[in-house]
Every structure is written in structure tokens, then in C-alpha cells.
Amino acid sequence: MNIQKTFYKVADFANWLKNGQLKLSPEFQRRSVWKPGAKSYLIDTIIKGMPIPIIFLRDKRIDVEQFEPIREVVDGQQRLRTVLSFVCPEYLTDYNPERDDFTVSKNHNKNIAEKKFNELDDETRYKILNYEFDTHILPSKIDDREIIQIFRRMNSTSFSVNKQELRNSNYFGPFKTSVYKLATEQLHRWRNWGVFTEDNISRMAEVELTTECVELMIEKEVTGKSPVRLDKLYSTYDEEFAFKDEIESRFQYIFDYIDDIFGNEPSECTFLKKSLFYTFYAFLYSSLFEFKDLLIEKNPNNLTVVQIGKLKTVNDRLRQRNAPQEVLEATDRRTTNPKERKILFDYLKAQIIDA
């Protein structure tokens, strides 16, 4: 199968659309369903020069009037429609303001937020128009049935999407942006501490755990892992996330604090196991920030030297299996359950804070 691999600029697609040489919505493809947040995210991705998935085109018959081929979008019509409706909506013959009109969110790019394309500075417009899509062109002899077979084969080797990957696809607001920022900023620690493997990170496990830690801060209680509740967080704060700055500040502080205590010998810290990290984070957060209101800036109450010593003693007891049997069983069983998490949390509080 002779597939041409090349690059085309946004300006190329805009010109083809203007001249009637681009077919955006073939019969076998889904229609545009992207939300404004997804569209905003894509434009910011383009401005930052980051890569996006390959665009697939198919050459159609030659236009006898223009002496030019008609290019049909086989895969990527939602991406292209988003860019073209931002850059040159007047060229879309089926443009619908209610469906297609959008601007970039301040959550994604403050410099161009709420501006139309013609309101942007020349340099930014130049970046967008000169952005190159990695494009594969299928020959005209390939019919719709063969195209469907091609994409079924491509999709058949893909991993099934997990819950966090679905959230990544469905939400683009300030909550998602903040959580992903927090998780990414700590990438070196996730790795150095051994909390996650590279496979875990590739499937966004560190983002999901970060989401759980943020949920703890918002809800002010130790809970079990609940995909439904995590989904609700992304949905609830997809438009406004009032305590974003305070959450980010407190989260960063906790991670710096952990690094100060256990960073030199992370392999000796049993709390840095993936299964125990949430409860350890919950203990430190409750001790340092006392579950205080997130709308109020809170200075942390650091542990005393004696309390840090007790924390290390408890860590050694757990590692050497010298802790109470109930606690050991709680750390061995499903540590995503609220009961097991609460047993370890209460044990830490009793041994280190209450004592």
C-alpha cells in the first residue's frame, strides 16, 4: 500500500478549505463533538509547538475546474475542524456558532485568553499558521471498506483505556490542569522514591494518586479510592477551581517535607510504597495543615524533632513487621479501602501526634 508521509501547515489546510479542495467530514467518520475545553487545549498545544497525533488524508478525484486533487480527511477531522474554525471560520460551509465558536481559556494560556484569531499578535498568528501536522496520505484507490479495516487494525493493538486516561480525554478545565501540573512537577520524586514504575507513569497512575491527595484536601477526611468520586471532582471543578493556588502550595510543601525526612534513603521508607503513600500523605497533611479551609492561606505546623524521630521509629516497625497485627494486616490488604486506610492513619496519629 503506497502511503505518502509528509507535513502540511495549518495555512495549507486553510487554503484548501477556502478553495473547496478539503472534505472534512466523510460519511464513515464521526461528526465534531469536542467541547470548548478540548478545543482550547488543542490551540494552546499548537502555539507551544507540541506534537499532536497524525492526520490521515485520502486523495480523491481531481477537480477538473481547479486542476487540483480533493483531499478527504480520513482521521483527524475534529482536530482540523477545531483549528480551522478558530483561524478561518468563514471558510466552513456548515459553520454553526453554537457548535464551532470558541476562544482559548485563560486556564490554558493567559496571554491569548478570550481572543479571536484576528485579535492575536502577529507572532502568535504566525506560529499557528506555520504549525505543521504530521500527515499520511492514502491513495485514491483505497475505498471506504479498506479504510475502516485499516483503523480497526490500528485500534486492535491499543490498550484498553483506564479511568484516569478517560478523565484526561473528557476534561480540560482548571482542576485537570492543576492536578496534572502537580503530578508532573513531582515526576523525579515519583521515580526516585520508587512509588511508581515507568509503566505506572505511562498509564497516568501518578496523576490518579495526585487526584486522590487533592480530594483529601478538599473533603477533609480519609476516604477509600472511588472512581465515581474522582470523576465528580473533575466535573465539579471543570469551570472554576477557587482554591487552586492554596492546594498547589500545600501539596508542594508536603512533598518537599517528605524529601527532607526520607529523601536520602527512600528505599528504607515503607510509606513510599504505592499502596501506603495516600495514607502517609493524609497523615502529614492533617498534622501540618489540620484540614484547614482551603480559601485561607495556612502556614504549616511542622513536626517537632521528637515527632520526626517517632515517625521514623514507626516506619522501622512497619518495615520489620513489629507493628500491631491489625496495622500490619491493614497494610497488607486492599489499601485502597477506607477501613484499612483509617487503621493506619489512626495508628500514625496515636504513635506520633497524640503520644
Query: Per-residue pLDDT for 165 more than 80?
Result: yes
pLDDT in tens, 79-90: 999 999 999 999
What pLDDT, on the 0 to 100 scale, is given for residue 32? Answer: 57
In the structure grid, which three cell numbers stand for residue 307, read together? 515527632
- Could you report the per-residue pLDDT of 242-275, keeping only the tens digit for each? 999 999 999 999 999 999 999 999 999 999 999 9
Residue 2's pLDDT band (boundaries 50, 70, 90)? Answer: confident
CB 222 within 8 A of CB 291: no
What is the Cα–Cα distance from 327 to 325, expressed in whole angstroms?
A: 5
Q: Are residues 184 and 147 in the same domain?
A: no
Co-location of 146 and 178 in the same domain: no
Residue corresponding to grid cell 474522582: 230
31 or 36, which is more confident: 36
3-state secondary structure of 57: strand
Q: What is the DSSP string of 91-127?
A: G-TT--HHHH-----TTT-TTTTT--GGGS-HHHHHH
pLDDT confidence of residue 266:
94
Shared domain check, 205 and 60: no
Residues 84, 220, single domain; the answer is: no
Which of 156, 190, 211 finishes a domain?
A: 156
Between 142 and 39, where is the model more confident? 39
Q: Which of 131, 156, 181 is the last residue of a domain?
A: 156
SS3 at position 131: coil
- pLDDT of 44 strictly over 90: yes
Q: Is the pLDDT of residue 203 over 80?
A: yes
Task: Note the pLDDT tens digit of each residue in 176-193.
Answer: 999 999 999 999 999 999
Give the domain-ending residue among 156, 183, 205: 156
Averaged pLDDT, 99-105: 93
Instruction: Based on the fold, state whether residues 180 and 274 are members of the same structural domain.
Output: yes
Residue 31 has pLDDT above 60, yes or no: no
Same structural domain, 202 and 292: yes
- The reported pLDDT for the residue numbered 34 is 87
What percent of the chain is predicted at pLDDT more than 90?
Answer: 81
**Average pLDDT of every residue of the chain:** 92
Residue 97 contacts residue 41 (beta carbons within 8 Å)? no
The answer to whether residues 175 and 133 belong to one domain is: no
Q: Please, are residues 41 and 238 in contact by the beta-carbon 8 Å criterion?
A: no
Distance CA 24, CA 31 (A): 9
pTM summary value:
0.84
Q: Are residues 201 and 350 in the same domain?
A: yes
**Interval 323-329 mean pLDDT:** 95
* Residue range(s) defining the domain that contains residue 23: 4-156
Q: Return the percentage of the chain with pLDDT > 70, whole number.
A: 94
Give the up-direction half-sphere exposure of residue 60: CA atoms within 13 A in the CB hemisphere.
15
Which long-range contacts link 66-69 to residues 24+ away (Cβ below 8 Å)? 66/19, 66/20, 66/21, 68/19, 68/21, 69/21, 69/140
Give CA–CA dist 327/344, Å, rounded.
Answer: 6
pLDDT of 160 over the 90 cut: no
| Domain total in the chain | 2
Regarding whether 175 and 83 lie in a shared domain, the answer is no
Are 108 and 76 contained in the same domain?
A: yes
Q: Is the pLDDT of residue 22 over 60?
A: yes
Residues 316 and 175 in one domain: yes
Least confident span in 59-73, 212-226, 236-250? 59-73
pLDDT value, residue 67:
65
Cα torsion angle, 309, 313, 318, 323, sign: negative
Length of the chain: 355
Together in a domain, 59 and 33: yes
Question: For residue 6, what is the enclosing H or E element?
Answer: strand 4-9
